[in-house]
Amino acid sequence: MTQDSKFDLAIIGLGYVGLPLGLQFAKSGCRVLGLDIDPAKIKEIEAGRSYIRHIPAEDVAAQVKAGRFSASSDFSLVHESEAVVICVPTPLNKNREPDISYILKTGEAIAPYLKLQGERREVEGSMGKKLVVLESTTYPGTTDEDLKKVLEKGSGLKAGVDFHLAFSPEREDPGNPQSKVAEIPKVVGGLTPACLERAKELYGKAIKKLVPVSSTRAAEATKLMENIFRSVNIALVNELKIIYGSMGIDIWEVIEAAKTKPFGFMPFYPGPGLGGHCIPIDPFYLTWKAREYGHPTRFIELAGEINTAMPDHVVARVGEALNSVGKPIKGSKILLLGLAYKADIDDDRESPSYILIEKLESKGAQVDYHDPYVPVIRKTREHSPLAGRKSVSMDTPSDLVLISTAHEQFKSHNYADLRTPLVDTRNCVLPQYRPKSYWQA
Ligand SMILES: NC(=O)c1ccc[n+]([C@@H]2O[C@H](COP(=O)([O-])OP(=O)(O)OC[C@H]3O[C@@H](n4cnc5c(N)ncnc54)[C@H](O)[C@@H]3O)[C@@H](O)[C@H]2O)c1
């Protein structure tokens, strides 16, 4: 570390990835600056509070109080930091193509502050140069083509010569209380061998095991492979669920039996459709880039097709369940349990629950939802007509209950006295708690 820098690193984008990562560095003794364009997040951190359910406020408060973690929206403070780690969103645009504009805007915002000045400039060797690391999931080539270009243009410096550049993907597992940032091995790739060394030096302060790879592209490709692997395997079990279901075989029972094989098998679970910031989106980053090389991505497309069709399967099961009690979907009241895309978290991004609400309402149903972690639906680009709708009580009368997320509360609830059908897309209700009319979907 150089003598006169105020921060060891600045984390840009204090969301589901940036906040826990920043806290981990702070806990490891680094001085961390969090930068975000959202003033509400800055305010919360300054007040020592957490805005992410699975991150305890005490963790934020302790690091802020110790002077190791602070937050700001003033990007010129990058000037005072040894390294910059970028954790901004990488969504798809409305044509389902990569939108790396958040990365590029961040690059433009930090480029003017990459130059080391005064005393710091005098420091010999690679450790005297600023390090920029991209963590956002993206296609191979983003770091060494797109980000590099913006940084060089805005700074007048040369990447790999005047500043270090690297890519290191995030492996956050939201909602898993056993998941500890420090314990998850971290893949790192540098633009040059010196860039890699500098990135290893930084991450080595907070992460126990590093996995160096030969380039930023290899690191970018590793993250995509991990998520494509999940998407394809989830599609496979979703397809098997439908096939086995029509044969009268319970896919969940089959998975439990199959996973006793001590080698060559890894369980994946079916569901009402994909959700979250990663699995529904990231594979299509590769699809887009592969076109440049003339390759179709058939597995990715097929998995996308199957997973996207799952809400239709659920709607069909809801129709059957209502039919069994002499009711049509049109005019029926449905209580949907769970808006978050995954159990026990408050993240509702890309949640299949939204698709289910929209599909059922387009058929004339009236859908209420209950989710203890999503009290009100925020405005999003995709589901703006639902914005403002509020979570109702779990006891709200309805013609059918539909479980979309396996929150602990829903798993441990006793539905045995429920007089209406219950459709369970997660196989989460214990046999003794199931009502007479219980349907898997
Ligand atoms: N959420 C996950 O579990 C997860 C896991 C692995 C990888 N990722 C990847 O990590 C990246 C970030 O994901 P996330 O879930 O943390 O997103 P997020 O939406 O929770 O957080 C992103 C943050 O960046 C801020 N931001 C947006 N534009 C900015 C800008 N120009 N300058 C500064 N801040 C800006 C937003 O205000 C927000 O606080 C994405 O590429 C995602 O694919 C996410």
Q: Which residues form ligand 1's pocket by a CB distance below 6 Å? A: 12-18, 35-38, 41, 87-90, 102, 105-106, 136-137, 170, 172, 174, 277-278
Distance 17 CA to ligand 1 centre (A): 6
Task: From 17, 41, 78, 230, give the residue whose CB has the most ligand 1 atoms within 8 Å, as the site to mutate.
Answer: 17
Reported in sequence order, the residue ranges of 284-406 that DSSP labels E, i.e. its strands, are 333-337, 366-370, 400-403
**Percent composition of the chain: helix, strand, coil (DSSP 3-state, to 5):** 40, 15, 45
What per-residue confidence (pLDDT) applies to 124? 47
Burial of 186: CB neighbours in 10 Å, binned 0-12, 13-18, 19+: buried
Strand-pair partners of 134: 86, 167
In angstroms, rounded to a whole number, what is the distance separating the alpha carbons of residues 10 and 105?
A: 16
Coil vs helix vs strand at 211: strand
Strands 164-167 and 186-190: what pairing? Answer: antiparallel
What per-residue confidence (pLDDT) applies to 202? 98
Task: From 11, 12, 16, 101, give the residue whose CB has the most ligand 1 atoms within 8 Å, as the site to mutate.
Answer: 16
**CA of 17, closest atom in ligand 1:** 16
Task: Supply 98's token pair.
Answer: 């990569």
In angstroms, rounded to a whole number, what is the distance separating the alpha carbons of residues 87 and 169?
A: 9
Q: Which residue type does 380 have?
A: T
Coil vs helix vs strand at 113: helix
Q: pLDDT truncated to tens, each residue of the chain (441 aa)?
A: 445 689 999 999 999 999 999 999 999 999 999 999 999 999 999 999 999 988 999 999 999 999 999 999 999 999 999 999 999 999 999 898 999 999 999 999 999 999 865 555 545 455 579 999 999 999 999 999 999 999 999 999 999 999 999 999 999 887 776 668 999 999 999 999 999 999 999 999 999 999 999 999 999 999 999 999 999 999 999 999 999 999 999 999 999 999 999 999 999 999 999 988 899 999 999 999 999 999 999 999 999 999 999 999 999 999 999 999 999 999 999 999 999 999 999 999 889 999 999 999 999 999 999 999 999 999 877 777 899 999 999 999 999 999 999 999 999 999 999 999 999 999 999 999 999 999 999
What per-residue confidence (pLDDT) applies to 301? 96
List own/partner pairs for 57-62 with CB under 8 A and 24 or more apart: 59/23, 59/27, 60/19, 60/23
Strand-pair partners of 369: 336
Residues in the chain: 441
Angle (nearest 5°) at CA 9 between 8 and 10: 145
Catalytic residue among 30, 87, 278, 428: 278
- What would you report as the CA-atom Rg of the chain, rounded to the nearest whole angstrom? 24
What per-residue confidence (pLDDT) applies to 1? 47
